[in-house]
């Protein structure tokens, strides 16, 4: 099969590298509005060629949309001419409900709404690497509304690049993602800004150890991409942040009251998280 990828940053570029290794994939071609990204993607061999979106639609059996979530909706509306075809459209957006609601009815069978639960704080084609998707979870949402051919194609491709497949509806996904992925980004941005407002650059470089580096790592993430995500999942992210503030207030109150037994209990309860991962 011939595969097209719109968006050749970390997610799209890494996906291209994995797909090119598959014996049943004849070609992987790309499209990106950023000319520098186009140049780098070709230099790095992420894709076989760069073409326009219109040519991708004519040439490819499968199209992946690896662009910010607002861009996914635009691309879906530019794909109405694929209605009635067997073309598979797979979006990789980090939010799902608004994307699913925005799919034109004419091409609903063509679309598989997916969210690979992977990534790094880096972005752009230089950040792409083979193996980003290996052994990671991909959530497929509202799969029953995708066509039989499109479901089979998506499952085949994600399994072939080594992903673990889970299914749920789009609303469930967005609420879970708010707690597991989106809220941590909010916290990381806030932590970085708090420290930047209080500490000189030299102190940060001298004193910042593993804990701060780990917690602030997500603050490197693309503001443009995450603005879209926060906008599309605003209600769920607000709920997650408010519940986090309640937990933070409990710790603050214990410190204010010198209530170290309560503080110890809160920390002990938090330790249970890692029993899940062990």
Tell me which residue of 99, 138, 143, 131 sits closest to 117, measured CA to CA.
138
Q: 150 with 63: CB under 8 angstroms? A: no
| Domain locations in the chain as residue ranges | 2-168, 173-277
| CA distance linking residue 131 with residue 126, whole number of Å | 15
| CA distance linking residue 270 with residue 120, whole number of Å | 24
Residue 122: the pLDDT is: 84
Same fold, 2-168 and 173-277: no
Q: Taking CA 122 as the corner, what is the angle to CA 45 and CA 183, rounded to the nearest 5 degrees?
A: 140
Q: 43 with 34: CB under 8 angstroms? A: no
Q: Report the greatest alpha carbon distance in the chain.
A: 68
CATH of domain 2-168: 3.40.50.720
Residue 241: the pLDDT is: 97
CATH of domain 173-277: 1.10.3660.10
Which parts of the chain register pLDDT below 70?
Answer: 278
Q: Could you tell me which residues come within 8 angstroms of residue 64 by beta carbon, excluding any fewer than 6 positions away?
A: 3, 4, 5, 6, 12, 15, 90, 91, 92
Residue located via tokens 């469930």: 172
pLDDT digits (tens, 9 = 90+) for 19-72: 999 999 999 999 999 999 999 999 999 999 999 999 999 999 999 999 988 899
Beta bridge partners of 116: 138
164-168 and 111-116 beta bridge pairing: unpaired
| CA distance linking residue 252 with residue 267, whole number of Å | 13
Residue 232: the pLDDT is: 92
Residue 187: the pLDDT is: 96
Structure tokens at 130: 């083979």
| H/E segment holding residue 186 | helix 183-198
């Amino acid at each position: 099969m011939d595969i097209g990828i719109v968006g050749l940053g970390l997610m799209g570029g890494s996906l291209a590298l994995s797909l090119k290794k598959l014996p049943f994939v004849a070609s992987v071609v790309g499209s990106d509005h950023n000319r520098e990204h186009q140049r780098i993607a070709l230099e790095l061999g992420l894709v076989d060629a760069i073409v326009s979106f219109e040519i991708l639609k004519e040439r490819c059996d499968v199209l992946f949309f690896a662009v910010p979530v607002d861009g996914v909706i635009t691309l879906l509306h530019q794909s109405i001419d694929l209605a009635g075809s067997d073309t598979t459209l797979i979006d990789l957006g980090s939010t799902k409900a608004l994307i699913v609601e925005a799919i034109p009815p004419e091409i609903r069978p063509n679309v598989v709404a997916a969210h690979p639960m992977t990534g790094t704080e880096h972005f752009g084609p230089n950040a792409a690497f083979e193996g980003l998707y290996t052994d990671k979870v991909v959530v497929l949402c509202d799969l029953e509304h995708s066509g039989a051919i499109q479901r089979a194609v998506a499952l085949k491709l994600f399994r072939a690049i080594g992903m673990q497949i889970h299914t749920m509806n789009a609303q469930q996904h967005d609420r879970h993602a708010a707690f597991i992925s989106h809220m941590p980004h909010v916290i990381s941005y806030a932590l970085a800004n708090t420290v930047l407002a209080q500490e000189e650059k030299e102190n940060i470089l001298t004193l910042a150890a593993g804990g701060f580096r780990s917690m602030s790592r997500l603050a490197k993430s693309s503001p443009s991409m995450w603005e879209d995500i926060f906008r599309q999942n605003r209600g769920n992210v607000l709920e997650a942040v408010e519940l986090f503030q309640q937990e933070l207030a409990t710790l603050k109150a214990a410190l204010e009251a010198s209530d170290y037994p309560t503080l110890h209990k809160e920390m002990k309860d938090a330790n249970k998280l890692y029993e899940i991962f062990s």
